[in-house]
Amino acid sequence: MKGSSPKGGSHNYDYSFKILLTGDSGVGKSSLLLSFISTFVQDLPPTVGVDFKVKQILVGGNRLKLTIWDTAGQERFGTVISSYYRGAHGIILVYDVTQRETFTNLLNIWAKEVETYSTNPECIKILVGNKVDRENERAVTREEGMALAQEHKCLFLECSAKTRENVQQCFKDLTLKMLEVPSLLDSGSVEVKRHILKQKQEDRFPCNGDCCS
Ligand SMILES: Nc1nc2c(ncn2[C@@H]2O[C@H](COP(=O)(O)OP(=O)(O)OP(=O)(O)O)[C@@H](O)[C@H]2O)c(=O)[nH]1
Ligand SMILES: [Mg+2]
């Protein structure tokens, strides 16, 4: 549905996508986000509640507005979780390659949460092994990561929020894949949103015939 993209329209982007970060506390979700948006910050405090950042990027000739949501891996607030997942186009499942438990928890906790709350059946997932700069402390092999991703039909990448290795690539791979899915393009398209808004306005102020004669 690239044809419906309003290039040159009044918006300065073609598609608006919601992306989520999920995974255990301390795996580096907030660091990854900061590294992508601006720069790595050493020893961030644990996230409290929910936060989001917006970034515009150019991918495959499309101007994308990404709203990237980040939440605490530790405290989970039941009512917040469902709204966190609602309408997400892409999900980044993060583990720490030096902490095996964070990898097994992806399967036991996070994948189940995604399955339960995600509302876009075709949303794209990417499995990300973070902290590869600590190679000598590695506890999960690259092959294990790849195998899990294949089993769950996810994309896969290893990265370091600290050195910024593969950080941009992670968002590029994810968004390129999202751009291949017509249903995600429909819900992320500025054109579709404009149409829905117009429809709502027409419903609120229906034409009584006077204005169109
Ligand atoms: N060496 C190294 N340290 C990292 C990397 N990414 C994050 N860290 C460190 O890991 C710790 C936890 O990072 P956060 O980004 O706060 O982790 P989080 O997943 O957001 O944690 P919660 O908010 O509690 O869910 C911090 O001390 C970071 O500096 C990385 O790629 N390499
Ligand atoms: Mg955090």
93-140 tens-digit pLDDT? 999 999 999 999 988 888 888 888 888 889 999 999 999 999 999 999
Contact 44 CB / ligand 1 (< 6 Å): yes
- How many Å separate Cα 196 from the centre of its chain? 23
Q: What is the pTM of this model?
A: 0.86
What is the arrangement of strands in the sheet containing 62-71, beginning at the earlier edge strand?
Answer: 50-59, 62-71, 15-22, 90-96, 124-130, 155-158
Whether residue 90 is predicted with pLDDT greater than 60 in this model: the reply is yes
Contact 21 CB / ligand 1 (< 6 Å): no
CA–centroid distance, residue 130 to ligand 1 (Å)? 9
- The answer to the question of residue 201 being in a domain is no
- Give how many domains the chain has, as a whole number: 1
In percent, the amount of the chain with pLDDT more than 70 equals: 82
- The answer to the question of residue 192 being in a domain is no
Q: Whose CA is nearest to atom 7 of ligand 1?
A: 28
Which atom of ligand 1 has the smallest separation from the CA of 160? 31
- How many Å separate Cα 5 from the centre of its chain? 21
Contact 35 CB / ligand 1 (< 6 Å): no
The confidence score (pLDDT) of residue 11 equals 72
- The answer to the question of residue 5 being in a domain is no
Count of helices and strands (H, E) across the chain: 8, 6
Contact 72 CB / ligand 1 (< 6 Å): yes
Residue type, 52: F
* Residue 100 · residue 140 · CB < 8 Å: yes
- State the Rg of the chain over Cα: 19
Provide the 8-state DSSP code for 27: S
Tell me how far apart the alpha carbons of residues 22 and 134 are, in angstroms, rounded to a whole number.
Answer: 21
Q: Give the mean model confidence (pLDDT) for residues 173-192.
A: 86
Tell me how far apart the alpha carbons of residues 166 and 50 are, in angstroms, rounded to a whole number.
Answer: 25
- The answer to the question of residue 135 being in a domain is yes
Q: Whose CA is nearest to atom 1 of ligand 1?
A: 131
Which atom of ligand 1 has the smallest separation from the CA of 33? 15
Element (H, E) at 39: none
- The answer to the question of residue 160 being in a domain is yes
The confidence score (pLDDT) of residue 85 equals 87
- The answer to the question of residue 40 being in a domain is yes
Whether residue 212 is predicted with pLDDT greater than 50 in this model: the reply is no
CATH number at residue 71: 3.40.50.300
193-207 tens-digit pLDDT? 666 566 666 666 555
The confidence score (pLDDT) of residue 139 equals 98
Pocket residue to mutate for ligand 1, from 22, 42, 44, most atoms within 8 A of Cβ: 44
The confidence score (pLDDT) of residue 86 equals 87
- The answer to the question of residue 169 being in a domain is yes
Which atom of ligand 1 has the smallest separation from the CA of 72? 25
Contact 99 CB / ligand 1 (< 6 Å): no
Q: Whose CA is nearest to atom 28 of ligand 1?
A: 43
CA–centroid distance, residue 162 to ligand 1 (Å)? 9
- The answer to the question of residue 136 being in a domain is yes
Tell me how far apart the alpha carbons of residues 30 and 165 are, in angstroms, rounded to a whole number.
Answer: 16
Contact 73 CB / ligand 1 (< 6 Å): yes
Domain that holds residue 28: 15-187
